[in-house]
Structure 1
Amino acid sequence: SEQGSNPVCSACDGERKDQPITGMTILWDLKPDGEQTWSEGSILDPAKGKTYRAKAKLLQGGDKLEVRGYVGIEALGRTQTWVRQ
């Protein structure tokens, strides 16, 4: 993506192509899957322009969100923890 105060998603396809990353929806279609957990969603990696399957879990009273993006099975993926600011 282009560098600057609001880089764009140059690697994205379709309507997201060359759109600003800040404010872009990158996590969608998650379905409740228990208490404070969601699954069967999708997540966009704006650096690569690729979309992966996703699941998420709220931690520490909602101050953190653990997000896992994966291809096919969950073992083939990566987890990030996002912190509310």
Structure 2
Amino acid sequence: MNKSKITMMLLGACMSVSAFAQDLAGTWQQIDDKTGSPKAIIEIRKENNGTYVGKIVKVTPRPGYTPQKTCNNCPAPYTNQPILGMDVLTGLKPVEGTNNYEKGKVIDPLAGKIYDAKVRLSANGKRLTLRGYMGVSALGRSQTWIRQD
């Protein structure tokens, strides 16, 4: 086999591994950035338009905490919606050639606030860092999510 064929095979293998690592779709454990405790299980799916959406599929029980059932202080269309089953992450778009996603929105159903969102996926695809912010990313907060599937 000549050098160019080997190079092309290696490049193709690297690209396929990179493409797999960059896919957000799957089930994720949300970790509370204040307490470090598991908070919820989020299922992220890719929409037909190429954006990603994340839905709460399980609220993780925590000692001394009674889970809120509905999004009481949330703006429309989230007003009084059940938290379980809610799309809390919407519109994330991949940034070409990176493990980053941007231009999304994330709602905090406990506070009733919607934030701009961006995500960085780890190189191995097992962790993501979600940054929620208003206006300027530097003024936001980050959460780590751990892949469950």
TM-score by length of 2: 0.50
Q: Hey, what does 2:75 align to over in structure 1?
A: 13
Q: Hey, what does 1:27 align to over in structure 2?
A: 89
Q: Which amino acid aligns with 1:21?
A: I
Does 2:105 match 1:42?
yes
- Tell me if the contact between 2:119 and 2:129 (Cα under 8 Å) persists in the aligned partners: yes
Matches of 1:13 and 1:52, distance apart in 2: 12
Q: Which amino acid aligns with 1:50?
A: K
Matches of 2:123 and 2:84, distance apart in 1: 25
- Tell me if the contact between 2:127 and 2:145 (Cα under 8 Å) persists in the aligned partners: yes
Matches of 1:61 and 1:21, distance apart in 2: 30
Post-superposition, which runs of at least 4 consecutive aligned residues in structure 1 deviate over 2 A? none
**3-state secondary structure, aligned to 1:62:** coil
Q: Hey, what does 1:81 align to over in structure 2?
A: 144
Percent identical pairs in the alignment equals 44
**3-state secondary structure, aligned to 1:66:** strand
**Deviation at 1:84?**
2.1
Matches of 2:71 and 2:106, distance apart in 1: 14
Name the Cα RMSD after superposition. 1.7
TM-score by length of 1: 0.83
Matches of 1:46 and 1:57, distance apart in 2: 22
**3-state secondary structure, aligned to 1:81:** strand
- Tell me if the contact between 2:99 and 2:123 (Cα under 8 Å) persists in the aligned partners: no
Equivalenced residue count is 82
Q: 1:3-36: per-residue Cα shift (whole Å, max 9, x none)? A: 45x7111111223111111221111111111422
Identify, as 1 or 2, the structure richer in helix.
2
1:53 to 116, 131, 134: 116
Q: Which amino acid aligns with 1:40?
A: K
